[in-house]
Chain A
Amino acid sequence: MELMTPHGGTIFWTTVTFVALLLIMWKVAWKPIIQALNERETKIRESLSAADKAKQDVEQALANQQDLIAESKKEAQQIIEKSRNSAELLKDEILQKANAEAENMLVNAKKEIELSRDKAMEDIRNLAVDLSMAATQKLIGKALDKSEHHALIQNSMKKMEDLN
């Protein structure tokens, strides 16, 4: 066997061996490996984009939540303001009403007092008339005309009052 001369048998066996190896490796190794590599790359790419999307979603959700919180805070503030206003209003109203009622009661009471005083005065007058009439009758023994008498006493009472 020469060093620099390709030997026919070697060429034949190399061809057979290499082609067989190529075919076997194609089926056993290269196809699954390249497929796996591609699959993994696709999966990594997908996972990355999914992660990116999830991050965006979370950020969106966070922003939404913050908006919501701010909104509800504002709303709560408004409600508080509103209730404070209405409470104020209610207070004023109640106070006013109470004041008016008190005033009313005072007026009524005054009126009543006046009325009772007038009545008492009248009663006193009548009693005085009757008493004086009875005294006069006893004194003169003769009954004066009642209406005449009444006018007489009334007059004198007035005079007394005027004197006072």
Chain B
Amino acid sequence: MTEHVIEHSADSLQTVQHITQTAEHAANAAEHAGGGGADFIMHHILAQPVLKLPTVFGIDLTITNHILMMWIVSALLILAFGLSFRRKNLVPKGLANALEAAVAYLRDDIIIPNMGKDGMKYAPYLLTAFFFVLLCNLLGLVPGAATATGNIGVTATLALLTLVVEQIAGIKKHGVWGNMKHLIPGGLPVFLIPIMIPVELVSMMAKHIALAIRLFANMIAGHITILAIMSLIFIFKSWLIAPAPLLIIIFCALLEILIAFIQAYVFTILSAVFIGASISDEH
């Protein structure tokens, strides 16, 4: 499991590097061709300040378009769920029915299988994470909007929150010492303990770093691809070439919708697995 995760995170890192290189190449090419310039792609991917705020205790509180998107997503979620479940109804209708079906699916296919009945205590975190990530991913596809989950800061924070919830869950279940024992695999010779503790610590961190990078890379990859392909039109400076990139872009956009769902699902199920492991009885 751990090895798999580390491998996966290495993969993701490679993907990111690859994508970044591609983007730079494309941008450079565009610049050479006298197109929009190298900033064209980066401008669309990086956070842009919307409202400049002062730096407090070394934290720059500037509101960026990604933060604005998170607020829009939060507002939409609260609005949708708040309006749907304002009145208690034994037989739900319309949107409430769909949302409830999604919640029931997450409960029955992600939370309970991976965490057991005890896991329902952490359902609110996982449900919030799923809908937040999903809506951030989907709204990021709207032209003119920004993808908050395509910001490493956002995904890192989400992964960090999963780590925090995981540790709190472990401490609640096994106590502080019992939770630390997760770092020592059972049946380990005593002299190996000093080596294994750092290894396990790194593996634990790697899991969460991978969680952050996976989501970030997946969200950003599609955008970079679409933008890079779009630059082709400007590189060739010809209307004749336009239909080909356009078809590829449409295909990529459709793929991105699929990926938006898959990544929200993956983030949630991995969080459930991590939290579930920390509250499981085996060491």
Contacts and interface: CB of A to CB of B under 8 A. Distances in A.
A34 B123 contact: yes
- The A interface, classified by DSSP as helix, strand, loop or mixed, is helix
Given A6-B152, A30-B128, 9 more contacts: A10-B154, A11-B156, A11-B160, A13-B63, A29-B81, A29-B82, A34-B120, A36-B89, A36-B100
6 contacts: A9-B62, A9-B64, A14-B157, A25-B131, A34-B120, A34-B123
B20 interface: yes
Contacts of A5: 152
A12 B104 CA distance: 31
B243 interface: no
Contacts of B116: none
Interface stretch (A16-24, A49-57, A78-86, A118-126): A16-24
Counting chain B CB atoms within 10 Å of each CB, which of A6, A10, A22 scores highest? A10
Contacts, number: 129
Given A30-B124, A32-B85, A17 B71 contact: yes
A53 B123 CA distance: 35
B230 to A, nearest CB: 19
Contact of B16 (A4, A12, A15, A36): A4
B85 to A, nearest CB: 5
A7 interface: yes
Interface in B76-96: 77-78, 81-82, 85, 88-90, 92
Interface residues of B, number: 51
Contacts of B62: 9
B90 A28 contact: no
Interface in B114-132: 120, 123-125, 127-128, 131-132
The number of chain A residues touching the other chain, given as a range, is 35 or more
B189 interface: no
A21 B66 contact: no
Contacts of B20: 3-4
A1 interface: yes
Counting chain B CB atoms within 10 Å of each CB, which of A15, A24, A28 scores highest? A28
A39 interface: yes
Given A3-B20, A33-B85, A40-B90, A10 B103 contact: no
B14 to A, nearest CB: 13
Contact of B90 (A10, A33, A39): A39
A4 B152 contact: yes
Contacts of B88: 32, 36
